[in-house]
């Protein structure tokens, strides 16, 4: 959409926008220079540069262990949530049973419910099921949080997909399952990758539920970070933050670029 107001007259608007965008980006990126600071304090700009906080991160078991836990949980969540979410999205898209609307609302509800409520509920269920502080418990809990993202992404994917492709494959001799895997899925590659990536990031960044249901050797990175932040502001966290920033933003950025390239052939 173009505007009929001359650009000159709205310079103030552009300036304001630029300031707000800086407000959004800068605090996010500031952890990067912080993590290379040589100082013990959080002075900015750093008085000198060093790798000491990365050494501190890689030298402490609590960080390494929890980072490893988080990565494994995120990977597990990605696999489970993408599979279950895609299956559900397909069933709900193709099926014609009565409860479709209700089921998809229930599956999307975790998105709207405050995580503190999900957390105490899971804490209670896990306490009685003996799943507290377990990897399995974390994966299932994060799967619950990731399912809405997968469901929304995949449903959007199925909506743009022409189901007669799958029908023709079946008429040519493929069972529904075979048709799904050889014809439907390859064409929805992009949606599946987006959904998987979202599930991974949702799990990797999840804090509140992890704080409640993970502890000891199975603490997630976010849980350790949260408790460390509550006690004192250890600059190692800047190094951790930088690593988290990279893990969570680089893949979607790459995906976005790929999507843009795909759109303008």
Residue 99 in the binding site for another protein (CB under 8 A): yes
Which residues are bridge partners to 37 per DSSP? Answer: 49
Residue 196 CB, nearest distance to another protein (Å)?
Answer: 15
- Say whether residue 2 binds another protein (CB under 8 A): yes
- Residue 85's alpha-carbon distances to 3, 78, 157, in angstroms, are 42, 10, 12
Pick out residues in 121-140 that bind another protein (CB under 8 A). 121-125, 140
Does residue 176 bind another protein (CB under 8 A)? Answer: yes
Q: Is 196 in the site for another protein (CB under 8 A)?
A: no
Cβ–Cβ under 8 Å, residues 77 and 146:
yes
Site residues for another protein, 71-90, by CB under 8 A, read: 84-85, 87-88, 90
How far apart, in whole angstroms, are the C-alpha atoms of residue 133 and residue 127? 9
Q: Does 95 bind another protein (CB under 8 A)?
A: yes
- Which of these segments, 46-54, 58-66, 152-160, 164-172, binds another protein (CB under 8 A)? 164-172
Gap between the Cα atoms of 44 and 32, Å rounded: 12
Instruction: Report how far residue 148's alpha carbon sits from residue 112's, in angstroms, rounded to the nearest whole number.
Output: 10
Beta bridge partners of 49: 37
The β-bridge partners of 103 are none
User: Minimum Å distance from CB 193 to another protein?
Assistant: 14
Does 151 participate in binding another protein (rule CB under 8 A)?
A: yes
CB of 150 to another protein, least distance (A): 9
207 binds another protein (CB under 8 A): yes
* Token pair in block for residue 100: 């479709």
Q: Which range of residues in 47-55, 57-65, 152-160, 229-237 is near another protein by CB under 8 A?
A: 229-237
Hey, which residues between 20 and 59 contact another protein (CB under 8 A)?
A: 20-21, 23-25, 27-31, 34, 41-44
Looking only at Cα atoms, what is the longest distance across the chain? 70
| Site membership for another protein, residue 231 (CB under 8 A) | no
Kindly determine how many residues on this chain lie close enough to bind another protein according to the rule CB under 8 A.
Answer: 104
Residue 37 backbone dihedrals phi, psi, to 5 degrees? -70, 150
Report the alpha-carbon distance of residue 69 to residue 77 in Å, rounded: 12
Q: Rank residues 142 and 218 by Cβ distance to another protein and give the closer one.
A: 142
Which of 48-56, 57-65, 152-160, 242-250 is the region at the interface with another protein (rule: CB under 8 A)? 242-250
User: Is 186 an interacting residue with respect to another protein (CB under 8 A)?
Assistant: yes
The Cα 162–Cα 143 span in angstroms is 28
- CB proximity list for 203: less than 8 A, separation 6 or greater: 70, 73, 74, 77, 78, 81, 142, 145, 146
Part of the chain binding another protein (CB under 8 A), chosen from 49-57, 58-66, 71-79, 182-190: 182-190
């Amino acid at each position: 959409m173009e505007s009929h107001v001359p650009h000159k007259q709205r310079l103030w608007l552009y300036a304001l926008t630029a300031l707000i965008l800086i407000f959004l980006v800068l605090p996010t990126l500031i952890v990067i220079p912080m993590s290379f600071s040589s100082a013990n304090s959080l002075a900015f700009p750093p008085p000198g540069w060093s790798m000491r906080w990365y050494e501190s991160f890689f030298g402490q078991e609590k960080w390494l262990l929890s980072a490893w836990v988080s990565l494994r949980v995120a990977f597990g969540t990605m696999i489970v949530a993408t599979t279950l979410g895609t299956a559900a999205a397909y069933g709900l898209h193709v099926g014609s049973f009565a409860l479709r609307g209700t089921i998809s609302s229930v599956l999307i509800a975790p998105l709207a419910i405050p995580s503190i409520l999900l957390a105490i509920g899971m804490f209670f269920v896990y306490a009685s099921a003996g799943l507290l502080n377990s990897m399995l418990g974390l994966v299932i809990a994060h799967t619950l949080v990731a399912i809405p993202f997968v469901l929304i992404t995949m449903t959007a994917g199925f909506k743009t997909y022409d189901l007669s492709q799958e029908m023709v494959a079946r008429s040519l001799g493929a069972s529904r399952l075979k048709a799904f895997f050889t014809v439907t899925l390859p064409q929805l590659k992009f949606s599946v990758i987006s959904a998987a990536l979202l599930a991974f990031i949702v799990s990797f960044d999840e804090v509140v539920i992890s704080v409640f249901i993970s502890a000891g050797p199975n603490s997630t990175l976010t849980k350790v970070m949260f408790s460390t932040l509550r006690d004192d502001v250890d600059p190692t966290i800047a190094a951790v933050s930088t690593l988290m920033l990279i893990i969570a933003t680089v893949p979607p950025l790459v995906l976005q670029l790929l999507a843009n390239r795909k759109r303008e052939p």
